[in-house]
Amino acid sequence: MKTTPGGRKLPHIVVVGAGFGGLNFVQQMPPNLARITIIDRQNHHVFQPLLYQVAAAGLSAVDIAQPVRAIFGSRPNLEVLMAEVTELDLANRRVVHARGELIYDYLVIAAGGHTSYFGHDEWAEFAPGLKSLDDALTIRRKILTSFECAETEPDETRRREMMTIVVIGGGPTGVELAGTFAELTHRALRKDFDHIDPRKTRILLIEGSPRLLAAFPPDLSASAERQLKTLGVEIRTGTRVEAIRDGEVVAGGETIRARNIVWGAGVAASPLTKQLGVELDRGGRAKVLPDCSVPGHPEVFAIGDAMSLVDAKGVTVPGVAQGAIQTGRHVAKLIVRELRGEKFSPAGRQAFAYFDKGSIATIGRSRAVGQFGKVHISGFAAWVAWLAVHITFLIGFRNKLSVLLQWTFSYFTFKRGARVITGVAGGPPANAA
């Protein structure tokens, strides 16, 4: 047990969510100024930018996850709670969760995003999204199992369906998934089977808008498209998905039969934002004031993917890790100033300003595109930059070493140590993928 000297007398801050926003908020807070409770429905922080590697069996789940309790170790005045938040009662400064309730002085909503099917929730069953470790393990299990089934499938048409992967969404997640699935099937699995040739796996990437990576400049979109084509990925831009059924995607008027459909398209805020009683944007994000506080509640903040804000410089804060990290730190600084006795009206609080550090999207082994201000890079140089950034940011000593080891190993051998299927007692069902 941790000692919490005099902790009960300190103001109480409740943080909902242990993603990049919540963690960076806490890390920015001095430990003796407030009592903090961080609540998450999972017991671990996930390094989301590498989730696609778990889905494609390149990394194992624990390589990119760290128990929240382990991250904060013996930090005083901090409690970690694994529970789902069920109600936000702003009038009474109360957070209700599955096994009790918390009374706060400050509330920070850092609940992140979840997969959005643009009003077609019935698609979720057939096209899993990629927001949690369990999502990633589900996708991995489905893909590896469908190759096992293809190996014994006598019917050519059915076999083709089992060996077709459709990735929906041409943003960074979709591009990363398509690229890494291409490497998994065309390289790592190449020699594993007797009756099928995994190199013949068909991988389609479907994007509704005219180009991939719409948030990047057009020259990098074009480069990403070229690099994916080199890996054998079929690209359909300007193609809207009309329907998804069991083993079938209808897009741009065409029906594509595929046993593996992965949804990398939409992200919406956690439904918790609906309980804040403020205006939401189309993605369900709470429209916050320039200081990231919720209108009418200067003691409640929403950060990261939970909020929608055009910042002081007129930039829409993007729904990426840096947006969550920077808003988390910003709110911590505001609260520190208030707790240290500075008095100012909410309108007098410092407005948040997003600092664009650049963006990188990776496209498999030694391929990527990156933008740093006016500098555009692509190919191997961008990939090295991506590798450096991600290893630096990974939380936890063990994970850094283990990820580095695994990457080095798979770089030189193209074997994938994480290619283990769990959660299917008794093997795949008869003639099903």
Examine residue 425 and tell whether it contacts a second copy (CB under 8 A): yes
Instruction: State the minimum distance, in angstroms, from the CB of residue 4 to a second copy.
Output: 7
| Binders in 356-375 for a second copy, by CB under 8 A | none
| Binders in 31-70 for a second copy, by CB under 8 A | 40-44, 60-62, 65-67, 69-70
Stretch that binds a second copy, among 78-86, 170-178, 292-300, 346-354 (CB under 8 A): 78-86
Q: Cα dihedral angle (151, 152, 153, 156), rounded to 10 degrees?
A: 50
CA distance readout (Å), 73 to 13, 36, 78, 320, 396: 18, 14, 10, 27, 11
Tokens of 402: 């283990």
Examine residue 347 and tell whether it contacts a second copy (CB under 8 A): no
Examine residue 84 and tell whether it contacts a second copy (CB under 8 A): yes
d(CA 419, CA 416): 6
CA distance readout (Å), 392 to 360, 399, 424: 14, 11, 35
CA distance readout (Å), 71 to 326, 396, 418: 19, 7, 24
Q: Which of 176, 207, 225, 299 is catalytic?
A: 176
Whose tokens are 């242990």? That residue is 18
| Binders in 167-206 for a second copy, by CB under 8 A | 191-197
Largest alpha-carbon pair distance within the chain?
75
Please identify, using beta-carbon distances, which residue of 67 and 358 lies nearer to a second copy. Answer: 67
Examine residue 404 and tell whether it contacts a second copy (CB under 8 A): no
Q: Is 176 a catalytic residue?
A: yes
| Binders in 278-307 for a second copy, by CB under 8 A | none
Q: What's the start-to-end Cα distance of the chain, in Å?
A: 47
Q: Which of 67, 68, 79 is nearest to 36 (CA)?
A: 79
Examine residue 395 and tell whether it contacts a second copy (CB under 8 A): no
Among 6, 98, 271, 350, binds a second copy (CB under 8 A): 98
| Binders in 137-166 for a second copy, by CB under 8 A | 137, 144-145, 148-149, 151-154
Examine residue 423 and tell whether it contacts a second copy (CB under 8 A): yes
Among 27, 28, 33, 83, binds a second copy (CB under 8 A): 83
What is the set of active-site residues? 176
